[in-house]
Amino acid sequence: MGLIKVILDYIKKDAKSFQERSDNFKAKIDSYLETFGLTAEQVSPLISVLDEITAANIEKAEINRARMAATLKCTNLHRTGEKLVREFRRLIMLSPNCTDDSLEDLGLKPGVRYIDTDKQAPTLKENQVAGVPQIRYDKSSFDGIRIFCRVGDQENFDKGQIVTQTKYNDIRPRVDPSKPETREYYAYYILKDQIVGKRSNIVKIELGPVV
């Protein structure tokens, strides 16, 4: 195959590159006016628009900085406020006059949500980290999962193991490091060391040889 010539537009789409070329143009165009037989009045409208674009970009950057600063301020204040609210709730609960009704009235009474554990199933997501199988899931209100694995062409899955973190790294050695290896996984939620709910989806990870 030979070379294909592609013409690149001299007007850049991203704001930073456009601004750089705009600054370069404005700094040098006066030295070319006589060469091109042009007057300052002829280039003035273009310079004016380029100046407006520069001013608008500066304004936009200032607004973005202010927005980021405001977001950070709100986040930090919210964390402080949440801590103080929890501390104040513990304080008023020491009072013999504190009731569920008063907590409810102040918006300080926890809500209650019921989960039908029989209908819950973890959703597994697979990944590889430095050649190690990694399984992720949403722990939700459960203690963890019991995860089961099948390697290669094994007929059955293993007896499983309990995982209490939201990530499981399967660091078991390969059957034969010189060959590719397939590992399949499924899981159930556990609550108080007991399996509950429905089986998860099955995920498969293809591992390449390591030697």
Give the pLDDT score at 3.
86
What pTM value is reported for the model? 0.55
Rounded Cα distance between 196 and 170, Å, is 23
Domain termination residue (choose one: 58, 86, 112): 112
3-state DSSP call for residue 58? helix
Both tokens of residue 156? 């059955």
pLDDT < 50: residue spans in the chain: none
Give the pLDDT score at 181.
94
- Are residues 105 and 123 located together in one domain of the fold? no
Rounded Cα distance between 122 and 112, Å, is 22
3-state DSSP call for residue 144? strand
Rounded Cα distance between 192 and 115, Å, is 15
- The verdict on residue 172 lying in a domain is yes
Both tokens of residue 43? 């280039």
Give the pLDDT score at 1.
59
The tens digit of pLDDT for each residue in 137-153 reads 999 889 999 999 999 98
Both tokens of residue 144? 């963890």
Give the pLDDT score at 145.
97
Q: How many domains does the chain have?
A: 2
CA distances for 197 relative to 31, 120, 155, 156, 200, angstroms: 78, 5, 24, 21, 9
The tens digit of pLDDT for each residue in 8-47 reads 898 988 989 999 999 999 999 999 999 999 999 999 999 9
- The verdict on residue 199 lying in a domain is yes
- Are residues 171 and 87 located together in one domain of the fold? no
Cβ-proximal residues to 20 (8 Å cutoff; 6+ apart), any chain? 12
Which helix (DSSP H) or strand (DSSP E) does residue 38 occupy? none
Give the pLDDT score at 140.
86
Q: What is the mean pLDDT of the chain?
A: 94
Helix axes 15-28 and 40-92, enclosed angle (nearest 10): 140
- Are residues 30 and 65 located together in one domain of the fold? yes
Contact by Cβ (8 Å): 53, 22: yes
**Which CATH number does the domain housing residue 179 bear?**
2.60.40.10
Give the pLDDT score at 36.
94
Rounded Cα distance between 82 and 52, Å, is 44
- The verdict on residue 98 lying in a domain is yes
Rounded Cα distance between 132 and 52, Å, is 54
Torsion angle defined by CA atoms of residues 95, 100, 106 and 112, in that order, rounded to the nearest 10 degrees:
130
- The verdict on residue 2 lying in a domain is no
Q: Which domain holds residue 196?
A: 117-207
Give the pLDDT score at 210.
80
